[in-house]
């Protein structure tokens, strides 16, 4: 009887053997266990390992992040718990788990509780499609990139749920800002990804990595720049962390949370940079490919390097204002994204399957365009900066009255 669905079609894939292993299992007298159970067990085993490795790497990541930011600020960082503070993540986890999970009154019940769960789903889902090494990935979807783009929009809803449910004005401010920012940064992100797709020709991440004879960062500098800004805006990382801007909105949408609910938010916020770094390595830095060392080490090394750059930016740069962030998205990244798209499309049209020589020409053109755009737009920005007319005070009829929106 033909099994209903053969999940791992590739013959030699790692999961196929695992699935076969489970297929011959028999317990409680039921000789070969039903097909769907074997599939479920194999899948569960894989997903369980991947999710746990991601969470553990993130907890170690929190320790590394706090030590590194400490070093950036000429201080030492946590070093009390365990040797060099290595037990700090465990201590944090225990504290968060044992901390009282307060629920302020006037809070919209189950929306308040559901928000953290929805928030943590998306950074974890991203790892479903990412190829960690030569053949090791959970699923090689042929629409991998589309899946990632779809998944990275989930935090928008979670943010708004949290902001709205906690009934605190600062959270509502944070949630409104978060929704506006995430929605308006989807567009430049997708545009920069499309630039990469044009060159690689297929949506599946494995094919994108294989198509990169030259890492796409060299071929697509403008795309990489836009994608870096957009992805750090998606995760509310440093220059764009207006959602939980601690100097303005106390803690944004997760002000009213405490205990493990707050812990889930923080965990999601610390997983997101690893997810972003993984996407950047697969899309722009040729994923697992590299001479000598095994592919997993290359992948992990590149992810850590990109993660360090994100952290470095977080430790240094101040925050942009809400309207400046939106202006940056729509007036700066969006046109550049379209320009980058046109140029890449033209190049792909001109050279059908480009030889490495032609690839280098394309790289040269793209770099020239990128530098020209950055310098040109910066002149526009800087003289716009100096002539910024101060906002006139806003006339309002009565405090409670209607008000025309300009």
Partner 1 sequence: MYGLGIAKGLSVTFRNLFRKPSTIQYPEEAVPQAPRFRGEEFAWYEERCTGCASCAKFCPLGIIKIVTHPGGIDVQEGQSYAIDVFDIDLGRCMFCGLCVEACPYDALFMGSGFERSTYRRDDLVIPIDELRQAEKHPSTWFRPQLEAKEYRPQTGQPLSWEEVGR
Partner 2 sequence: MPIRTEPVTINLGPQHPSTHGVFRMRITFDGEIILDVEPVFGYLHRGSEKLAEERTYTQVITLTDRLDYVSSMSNNLAYVLAVEKLAGINPPERAMYIRVIVAELQRIVSHLVATGFFLNDLGALATPLMYCFREREKILDLFEMLCGARITLSYMRVGGVFQDAPPDFWHSLRDFLNYMPGYIDEYETLITGNEIMLIRTKGTGILSGETAINSSISGPILRASGVNWDLRKTDPYDVYDRVDFDVPQGTVGDNYDRYLTRVAEMRQSLRIIEQCVDQIEEGPVRAEVPALVRPPIGDAYGHVEGPKGELGFYIVSDGSIAPYRFKIRSPSLINLSALRGMLLGSKLADMIVTFGSMDINMGEVDR
The footprint of partner 2 (CB under 8 A) covers 69, 72-75, 169-170, 173, 238-239, 241-242, 245-250, 314-324, 378, 381-382, 385-386, 388-394, 396, 399-400, 402-405
The verdict on 142 binding partner 1 (CB under 8 A) reads: no
Q: Is 406 exposed, middle or buried (0-12, 13-18, 19+ CB in 10 A)?
A: exposed
* Residue 256: partners with Cβ closer than 8 Å, 6 or more residues away: 102, 104, 107, 112, 166, 167, 168, 171
For residue 313, the partner it binds in partner 2, partner 1, none, with Cβ less than 5 to 8 A by kind, is partner 1
Can you give the C-alpha Rg of the chain in angstroms? 24
Looking at residue 12, the DSSP 8-state letter turns out to be T
Alpha-carbon gap, residue 274 to 213, rounded angstroms: 25
**Distance, CA of 140 to CA of 136 (rounded, Å):** 9
Asked if 146 touches partner 1 (CB under 8 A), the answer is: no
Instruction: For residue 231, give both structure tokens.
Output: 């992805």
By CB atoms closer than 10 A (0-12, 13-18, 19+), residue 256 is buried
Binder of residue 374, out of partner 1, partner 2, none (CB less than 5 to 8 A by kind): partner 1
Tokens of 388: 């910024």
Residue 350 in contact with partner 1, rule: CB under 8 A = no
Could you give the CA distance from residue 273 to residue 241 in angstroms, rounded to a whole number? Answer: 13
Q: Which residue has the tokens 């030699």?
A: 12
Q: Which does 403 bind (CB under 5 to 8 A by kind): partner 1, partner 2, none?
A: partner 2
Q: Using an 8 Å Cβ cutoff, are 285 and 132 in contact?
A: no
Pick one of partner 2, partner 1, none as the site partner of residue 248 (Cβ within 5 to 8 A by kind): partner 2
Residue 199 or 333 with smaller CB distance to partner 1: 333
Q: How far is the CB of 287 from partner 1 (least distance, A)?
A: 26
Q: Specify the residue, 29 or 393, whose C-beta has the smaller distance to partner 2.
A: 393
Give the tokens for residue 56: 């553990």
Binding-site partner at residue 312 among partner 2, partner 1, none, CB < 5 to 8 Å by type: partner 1
CA dihedral 374, 378, 379, 382 (to 10 degrees): 180
Is 85 or 275 the residue whose CB approaches partner 1 more closely? 85
Task: Choose from partner 2, partner 1, none: what does 142 bind? Cβ within 5-8 Å by kind.
Answer: none
The DSSP secondary structure of 327-357, one letter per residue, reads HIIIIIIHHHHHHHHHHHHHHHHHSSS--HH
**Cβ 345 to partner 2, closest distance in Å?**
31
In this structure, are residues 283 and 227 in contact, taking their beta carbons and an 8 Å threshold?
yes
Site membership for partner 1, residue 369 (CB under 8 A): no
Virtual CA dihedral for 107, 181, 305, 89, nearest 10 degrees? -10
Q: Are 149 and 193 in contact (CB under 8 A)?
A: yes
Q: Which helix (H) or strand (E) holds 36?
A: helix 35-72
Tell which one of 9, 75, 397, 400 touches partner 1 (CB under 8 A): 75
Tell me whether residue 114 or residue 317 sits nearer to partner 2 (CB atom). 317
| 382 belongs to the binding site for partner 1 (CB under 8 A) | yes
* Residue 312 or 330 having the CB closest to partner 1: 312
Per CB under 8 A, does 312 bind partner 1? yes
For the purposes of burial, counting CB atoms within 10 Å of the CB of 84, is it exposed (0-12), middle (13-18) or buried (19 or more)?
A: middle
Output 241 or 256, the one with its CB closest to partner 1.
241
**Which CB atom, from 151 or from 229, has the smaller least distance to partner 1?**
229
| Cβ nearer to partner 1, comparing 75 with 400 | 75
Asked whether the beta carbons of 299 and 133 are under 8 A apart, the reply is yes
Is residue 74 a contact residue for partner 1 (CB under 8 A)? yes
Q: State the nearest-atom distance from the C-beta of 197 to partner 2, in Å.
A: 31
Given partner 2, partner 1, none, residue 152, with its beta carbon under 5 to 8 Å by kind, binds none
389 binds, among partner 1, partner 2, none (CB under 5 to 8 A by kind): partner 2
Q: Does residue 135 interact with partner 1 by CB under 8 A?
A: no
Judged by beta carbon, residue 121 or residue 377, the one nearer partner 1 is: 377
- The 10 Å Cβ neighbour count of residue 271 is 24
Q: Considering only residues 78 through 107, tell me which ones interact with partner 1, judged by CB under 8 A.
A: 79
Binding site for partner 1 (CB under 8 A): 68, 70-76, 79, 312-313, 315-317, 374-375, 377-378, 381-382
């Amino acid at each position: 009887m033909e099994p209903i669905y053969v999940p791992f079609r590739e013959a030699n894939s790692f999961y196929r053997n695992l699935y076969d292993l489970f297929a011959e299992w028999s317990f409680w007298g039921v000789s070969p266990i039903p097909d769907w159970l074997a599939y479920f067990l194999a899948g569960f085993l894989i997903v369980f390992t991947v999710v746990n490795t991601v969470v553990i790497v993130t907890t170690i990541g929190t320790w590394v992040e706090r030590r590194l930011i400490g070093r950036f600020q000429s201080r030492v960082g946590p070093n009390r718990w365990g040797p060099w503070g290595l037990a700090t993540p465990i201590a944090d986890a225990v504290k968060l788990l044992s901390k009282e999970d307060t629920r302020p009154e006037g809070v919209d019940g189950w929306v308040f509780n559901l928000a953290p769960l929805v928030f943590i789903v998306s950074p974890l889902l991203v790892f479903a499609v990412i190829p960690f090494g030569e053949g090791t990935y959970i699923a090689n979807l042929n629409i991998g990139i589309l899946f990632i783009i779809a998944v990275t929009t989930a935090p928008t809803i979670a943010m708004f749920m949290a902001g709205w449910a906690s009934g605190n004005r600062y959270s509502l401010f944070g949630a409104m800002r978060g929704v506006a920012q995430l929605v308006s940064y989807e567009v430049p992100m997708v545009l920069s990804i499309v630039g990469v797709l044009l060159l690689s020709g297929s949506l599946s991440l494995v094919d994108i990595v294989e198509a990169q004879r030259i890492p796409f960062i060299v071929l697509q500098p403008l795309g990489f720049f836009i994608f870096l800004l957009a992805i750090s805006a998606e995760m509310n990382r440093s220059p764009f962390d207006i959602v939980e801007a601690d100097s303005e909105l106390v803690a944004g949408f997760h002000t009213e949370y405490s205990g493990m609910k707050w812990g889930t938010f923080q965990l999601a916020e610390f997983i997101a940079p690893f997810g972003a770094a993984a996407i950047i390595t697969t899309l722009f830095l040729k994923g697992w490919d590299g001479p000598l060392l095994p592919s997993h080490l290359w992948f992990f090394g590149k992810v850590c390097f990109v993660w360090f750059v994100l952290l470095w930016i977080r430790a240094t740069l101040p925050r942009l204002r809400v309207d400046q962030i939106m202006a940056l998205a729509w007036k700066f990244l969006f046109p550049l994204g379209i320009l980058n798209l046109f140029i890449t499309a033209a190049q792909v049209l001109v050279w059908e399957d480009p030889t490495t020589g032609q690839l280098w020409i394309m790289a040269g053109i793209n770099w020239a365009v990128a530098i020209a755009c950055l310098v040109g737009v910066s002149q526009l920005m800087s003289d716009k900066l100096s002539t910024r007319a101060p906002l006139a005070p806003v006339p309002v009829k009565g405090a409670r009255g209607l008000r025309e929106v300009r």
